[in-house]
Every structure is written in structure tokens, then in C-alpha cells.
Chain A
């Protein structure tokens, strides 16, 4: 009876346009906030992935340059089978590299460093295949910690500060956003449920008649669930459109204000799978919400129960 359900939906929509617009607006609002959360999450993930692809690890050796010890360290690095492009940077090379860099900014500043080189020798390398998951990141952290205890190693660096800040932001963001998303979804469920309850109470007599002429519970339930599915789908679709408009507006604004930062290439809009996820989520939320409120609508004896209530 899907065409019947569609008919029914259009009829209800026509009969109560204001109720529908109110419900739809609230849903679009809350779905838009969820879509924005999804957008932020996607971009943080992307930034981390980009870092993970080109993560550089440096192992700094202790001050006393010791051939045997550095060979030992090199062996440890190779044994891990975890790195590619391992290269050795001696104290002298490190200084040259440092100087050329500094000279670009302040020529002559480092002239007297010649005799007293404070820079340590180091091994530089990249991670084979990059860091793609939390587990791999943890492995890197553990390896670095372990490596620091090896004789002759002074420090291991992989951009900890940056990554750890990012990770803690992500953690906080993750936790609060889960609470937030939970509240939003529950709220949406109630909004949908309320709208469906309205439709049901307006059609009590209709439900009784359908039962009396042999409609099954499923047949009676379906139009309401369908109504919820359409409501959820429409709200999700329009929320994606709203999010897109917000995205265009905000990135344009930033491009104008912060001309040095190419926002559009750095901040992406929702990917196709994520949009699909949002649509599926919205639609199922609509169906679930209406089912939860409509599931008791037909016991098979609605008419008799109504008469009993009436005579009390």
C-alpha cells in the first residue's frame, strides 16, 4: 500500500501545513548542527591523515659522538623495520643546515657558532606507509619512548607537541560532541514523535474503521512510519543544503579576510559517503521516531476500546 501511504502523506501535509513546516524547521535546524559537526570531524580527520602521511621522525644522539653507539642506534632503527629513508646527519651537517636556514632571516647572526657547535648529530627518517590509525600512532609513541632509553640517544622527536595537542582537542571534541549528538538525536526523535502523534490523534476514527474492515496492524502502521521516513529524509536533505550554504558563506568570508590562507583547499565540504550517511541517518531516525510513537496505534480492537472508554 505504498501509493496509499504517499497519498495519505500528501493529504495530511495539505491539511496541516503549519504543523508540518514547524516540525520540519526544527528538524532541519538540529540536523544542520549535526551535519556541521560531521563536517568539522571530517576535516580534523583529514588534517591528521595528511600529517600521518608525511610524519618525520628524528633520533638525536647524545653529545659525545661515539661511532660504536651510533652504529648501535642505527641497527635498532633498521631492526624495527618500521622506517624508510633513514639518513644520518652529523653535527657538522646539522650546523650547516641550520645556518643556511637562519641566514635567510638574519645573515651573520651565527658567525661565532663555528667553534662551539651546540647541535647534536641525528638520524632522520620517515615512517613506512605513514601513520593511518590510532593504533599505529600509539606504536610510534611507544617506540619513541623505548628508543629514548637506549644508550647514546638523547631525544626522539616526531612533532609530538603538535600531534598531542591535536589529539587532545579531538578527544574533548569527541566526548562533548557525542553527548551533544545524543541530546540532539533524542530531541529530534521526540519532535518527530510529536508530529506523528498529532496525525494519529486526528485520525483515530479512521484507524477504527480500517481495523473494522480488516486492515492489519502493519497496514495501519505503515502510513505513519512512511510519514516519519519522508519527514526525516526531507529534513536531512535540506540540512545538507543549509550546511553547504553556510560552508560557502563562511569560506568566502575567510578567503576575503585572510587572503594568505587558502581555506577552500584546506577545508573540504562533506564527502559523498558522509552525505549519504546523513541522509540514511535522518531517514531512519524519522522512521524510528514515528514507529516508536505509532506502534501501539492498532490493537485490532480500537473501535471496541473507544466505545468502552466513551461509556465510562
Chain B
């Protein structure tokens, strides 16, 4: 399902940053896995490689049936449609409403407008934002924006869900609610991979946990 083999990532610049060093990792279909580590340890970078946001400097990465090293120009968008990603900085479209933001993965796939409406409204309701479906992201709180990002990552029922600090901006009560939502999605067969530095949350769920520090995996249960 997810496989890293000797993956490295170096950010080029005046001083090159070795963000990931020799990452080896396998996650099977249907697993629910936490990725933990202090700020700056490389969690976001690992997720960027995993979601084909960026390419590794060396090593190979496989997700679903895609080999991310040799995706061509047509396969890149195809792959991205098969996964669900919640970015740490949300990445919402400022000029589009909540509804339109959530509809994006269905729209790029070419779904019919009626189908889109049905599915989008259902998921917006699940994250508790139905009454704000026509608002623009700038008018929402950080927590609400995060929930829009979550709804967008789930609306197309992806095979893998990758979430970078999905509860970072939420109060503990809401955080639990969101994690239960992801838990439910996982129960329906979606592989879920969550990066977080919230130890309470990790403890509360006692799932498989991968620890990363300074760009290297230090513990994998």
C-alpha cells in the first residue's frame, strides 16, 4: 500500500537541508498509523513525498499501485486523484466557497453536478459545516478551515488518507470528533496515516506509531 525504500530528501539552497535520511517504511492496506516527532523532524517532508507533492532526492516510493519515482505528466494528476491529503497549511482556494472547495476532487474527476452536490453536502454535514457551505475560507476560523480541508480530503473516498497535523488548530473536543471521523473512514477500508505531535491523541488511540527525529525513523511499532 505504502512503501518507502532508502528514501532521501535534500532541500537545495545556500545550505542544503537533509530533511529525510534513508527512510524505510511499509504500511499495509487498511492500517491506521500515526507519525510522530518534534517540529522540524521531517513529518511534512515525508508526507510531501508520499503525496507526490515533491520528488525524493533518491530512493523509491510506492503508493497504491503507483511507483512515484517514474510518474509521467499524465500519471501525476491521476495518482493525486486516488489519494486524500490534508495539508498542514490547509491549502484552500480563497476565491471559492466551502462547497466549491470540497467539490474540487470530484470536479477534476469529471463527476456530474448532481452527484457532486449530493456527496459534497453529505461530507460537509459530517464535519459540521453545512450552515457555512456558501462562505469563503477567509470568513472561517482556523478550526473551521481545517474541517473544510478534511472534508475535501475525504469527499472522493480515497484509498489512502494522509493528514498532516489534522487537529493542530482544533480544541480537544473537536479534535477527538475529527479523529473518530477518520477512524470511521478507516473502518470502511481506507488506509489512514496521520502526522501529529499531540502525544495525548496518540496515547488515546493506541494505534501503530512511527517516530521520526532529525529526518530518520527512530521507532516503528
A contact residues vs B (CB 8 Å cutoff): 1, 4, 11, 203, 205-206, 208-217, 219, 300-301, 303-304, 307-308, 311-312
Contact = CB atoms under 8 A, between A and B. Distances in A.
Interface in B22-74: 48, 51, 53-55, 73-74
Contacts of A300: 73, 76-77
B105 interface: yes
A214 B78 contact: yes
What range describes how many residues of B lie at the interface?
A: 20 to 34
A123 to B, nearest CB: 75
Given A209-B93, A311-B11, A304 B108 contact: no
B93 A212 contact: no
A4 B53 contact: no
Contact of A11 (B80, B95, B108): B95
Contact of B81 (A206, A208, A209, A214): A214
A303 B107 CA distance: 20
A308 B51 CA distance: 17
B184 interface: no
A125 to B, nearest CB: 70
A5 to B, nearest CB: 12
B109 A312 contact: no
A205 B80 contact: no
A219 B76 CA distance: 14
Contact of B77 (A211, A304, A307): A211
Given A301-B55, A304-B54, A311-B11, 12 more contacts: A206-B95, A209-B104, A210-B93, A210-B104, A211-B77, A211-B80, A213-B105, A213-B108, A214-B78, A214-B81, A216-B108, A312-B14
A212 B108 contact: no
A307 B91 CA distance: 13
B161 to A, nearest CB: 14
A209 B54 contact: no
A214 B105 contact: yes
A311 to B, nearest CB: 5
B73 A217 contact: yes
A311 B108 contact: no
Nearest to A8: B95
B95 A213 contact: no
B54 A307 contact: yes
Interface string B73-93: 110111111000101000111
A215 B13 contact: no
